[in-house]
Structure 1
Amino acid sequence: MRRFLSRKGRFSLRQSVKSGPRCASKDFYLGLPTNNQKWPEEFGFRLGGVGPSYILSVLEGSSAFLAGLQPGDQVVDIEGQDVTNLSTPALIALAQTLKTVPPSIGVVSRLEQIDIAPGQDGRFGFTIVGDSPLMVEDCMAGGPGGRGGLKVGDYVMEVNGIPVKLHDTAAAMIKAAQGRPLRLGVLSMARRPKRLSSSMRVLSQSGDSVRDNRAHKAIEFNKKVEDVLGEEPDVKEQLFEVLKQYATERDVDSLAEALPDILITDNHQQLIDSVR
C-alpha cells in the first residue's frame, strides 16, 4: 500500500522485515547484517548522486526489495535527520556511524514519466547503455527523445510502465514499440528535484493491510482484463499463462519480454499499467 501525505512519511526496513516471513524470488533472501559498515549494499540497494542521493538499483529478494524501496527514490531523511542535500559518499558515511541496524530512511519517488513520439523513421533518437540502472548514452537534442525531455545521463527505470534492469530487455521493448508512442520512467540527476510535497510514501504496513490491498487490486485487474480482452479469449489465456509463470518464478525480465508479444494493440496497452 502507498499513501500520500502532506508531511514527511517514513520508510523502515526494520518494520517491514518484522511484519512476517515472505518468499523471495528464486529462493534468495538477503539476511540483515549486524551492523551498518557495508550499508547500503549489504541491505540490497545502491545509491548515486552528488546531493541529493538517489536509489539507483534494488536487488530482487533483498531486505530493501521486500520493504518496498524502488529505483528512482530520493533519500530525504535518515533516522529523522534531513539528508536532502547530502551526496552519496556523505550519506553512506553518516549511515555507517548509526547504531540502529538498519537505519530507517524517508524516501520520495523522483521518477518522471516522459512520453516520446516516434520520428518519421519510427525511431526515438536515443541510445542506452549498462544494466541496473540503464543510462542514456546519446540523445539527439532535436530528435524525438530530446523533444520529449530526455537527456544524456538520465537513468531509464521503466519502459511503457514496466520496470527494466537489463539492457537487452529494454532494447527489445523499445524496438517493439517503434512506430508507436513510447513512455519512459526516468530518473534525471541533471534536473533539480522539486520541493518535498505530498508525494512522500509510507511503506511500513501490517501483513493484513498488504493482503487486503493485493486482493482489491486482483479484483480490479480481473475486471479490466474482462473489459479489454472479453472478446479475445486466446489473448486473455496467453496473458494469464504468462502472469501465472511470473507468480511462480518472479522473473521481471521474462515478464517484460513476454507482454509486448501478447498485448500488441493500442487497446491492449491500457493493461500494461494494471499488470504492473
Structure 2
Amino acid sequence: MRRFLSRKGRFSLRQSKSGTRSASKDFYLGLPATNQNWPEAFGFRLGGTGPSYILSVVEGSSAYLAGLQPGDQVVDIEGQDVTNLSTPALVALAQTLKTVPPSIGVVSRIEQIDITPGPDGRFGFTIIGDCPLMVEDCMPNGPAGRNGLKAGDYVMEVNGIPVKHHETAAAMIKAAQGRPLRLGVLSMARRPKRLSSSMRVLSQSGDSIRESRAHKAMEFNKKVEEVLGEELDVKEQLFEVLKQYAAERDVDSLAEALPDILITEEHQQLIDNVR
C-alpha cells in the first residue's frame, strides 16, 4: 500500500531500486494552487467505472515523486472510501477538496499472468497504444486467452519490467522467442473465478470483505504516518517490500526484510499492523 501524500513538506526526493527521483526548483514553483485540473495537473491519469485505477504517471511529476504507479487502485481520498467511485465521480470529488493535492491511498492491482507460447511460438494477442498499452485483440482459445488475458486489458509490465511504449513492449515480447512470457496486467473488468461449493458461501460476503480490507488499508496508512512521519526513505522501503509481497506472497521474504527496515523500537509497532 502506498500514499500519494499532500503538499505539506512531502515532495522531497524518492529513493527507489533504480535510483533517486528528484524535482527541479522550477517544478516546485510550478505546482498548481488548486485541484481544478486534478489529476492531470499533478502528473497522472485515471480510468475505470468504479473502482478507479491509475493508468499512467508522468516522470518527474508530483505523482511520480510520491510513488504512484500505473496499475494502482485508488481506495481512499483524504480518508474517504472511494473504492466504488467511477473516474468522473472521483475527479469531481477531488476537485472540491481544499488540500492541494489531496492525499490518496492506493493499492496495486497488477495481476501477473504467465503465458506459454503455442506450437508456432506465438502468444495469441496484440497490443496498441502508449501509456498505457492496451490489449487490442486476444484469441480466447489461444495461449494468452486460456490464461485469462482479454481484449481491453492494460499491459503494465513485461517480464517484470514496467512498459509505457508500444515499440518497447513489442520488442520485449518478440525477444521472448518462444519462451514463457509473464505479463503484469490491469483488468478493468472483474475476472470471474470458479468457486467450489465450499467457497460459495464465502463469496456471498465478498462486499463486506472488500469494505473491511479498504478500512484496514486506511487504518494502516494512518499508522504509518503516525509512526514514520517524515522518514520518507523508511516509508518508501516499507511500501516497496509490501508491494513485492503482494505480487509474490512470499511470507519468508517479507519476514526477513521487515526487521532491516523497521529498526527502532517505535518502528516495531508497525510489524503487528503488517501482520
TM-score grouping bracket, smaller chain normalisation: 0.5 to 0.7
Letter in 2 for 1:82: D
Range with bigger deviation, 131-140 or 202-211 = 202-211
Letter in 2 for 1:206: E
| Structure 1 contact 124–178 (Cα < 8 Å) conserved | no
Cα shift at 1:14:
2.8
* Structure 1 CA distance for aligned equivalents of residues 187 and 96 of structure 2: 29
* Structure 1 CA distance for aligned equivalents of residues 52 and 179 of structure 2: 34
Report the counterpart of residue 190 of structure 1 in structure 2: 189
Cα shift at 1:181:
0.4
Range with bigger deviation, 204-213 or 162-171 = 204-213
* Structure 2 CA distance for aligned equivalents of residues 26 and 135 of structure 1: 32
Q: TM-score, normalised by structure 2?
A: 0.67
Q: Secondary structure at the match of 2:145?
A: helix
* Structure 2 CA distance for aligned equivalents of residues 173 and 127 of structure 1: 13
Q: Secondary structure at the match of 2:189?
A: coil
- Change over 3 Å in CA distance of 1:29–1:165 after alignment to 2: farther
| Structure 2 contact 44–55 (Cα < 8 Å) conserved | yes
Q: Secondary structure at the match of 1:14?
A: coil
Letter in 2 for 1:12: L
The reply on whether 1:37 has 2:36 as its aligned counterpart is: yes
Report the counterpart of residue 14 of structure 1 in structure 2: 7
Residues paired across the two proteins, number = 207
Report the counterpart of residue 45 of structure 2 in structure 1: 46
5 Å matches for 1:50-89?
50-89=49-88
Unaligned runs of 5+ in 1: 217-276
| Structure 1 contact 138–152 (Cα < 8 Å) conserved | yes
Unaligned runs of 5+ in 2: 15-19, 193-205, 242-275
- Change over 3 Å in CA distance of 1:18–1:136 after alignment to 2: closer
Report the counterpart of residue 172 of structure 1 in structure 2: 171
Report the counterpart of residue 234 of structure 2 in structure 1: 209
CA offsets per residue over residues 94-127 of structure 1, 9 Å max, x none?
A: 0000001010011111100000000001110000
| Structure 1 contact 39–96 (Cα < 8 Å) conserved | yes
* Structure 1 CA distance for aligned equivalents of residues 63 and 11 of structure 2: 13
| Structure 2 contact 135–152 (Cα < 8 Å) conserved | yes
Cα shift at 1:29:
4.0
| Structure 1 contact 136–155 (Cα < 8 Å) conserved | yes
5 Å matches for 1:256-267?
none
After TM superposition, the runs of 4+ consecutive aligned structure 1 residues lying more than 3 A away are 15-31, 196-205, 210-213
Cα shift at 1:23:
5.0
CA offsets per residue over residues 201-244 of structure 1, 9 Å max, x none?
A: 8597624537988xx9xxxxxxxxxxxxxxxxxxxxxxxxxxxx
* Structure 2 CA distance for aligned equivalents of residues 211 and 76 of structure 1: 19
* Structure 2 CA distance for aligned equivalents of residues 199 and 100 of structure 1: 21
* Structure 2 CA distance for aligned equivalents of residues 47 and 92 of structure 1: 9
* Structure 2 CA distance for aligned equivalents of residues 26 and 177 of structure 1: 38
Higher relative contact order (CA 8 A, sep 6+): 1
Cα shift at 1:78:
0.6
* Structure 2 CA distance for aligned equivalents of residues 25 and 97 of structure 1: 27
Letter in 1 for 2:117: P
The root-mean-square deviation of aligned C-alpha atoms, in Å, is 3.0
Q: TM-score, normalised by structure 1?
A: 0.67
Q: Secondary structure at the match of 1:132?
A: coil
Cα shift at 1:54:
0.4
Cα shift at 1:148:
1.3
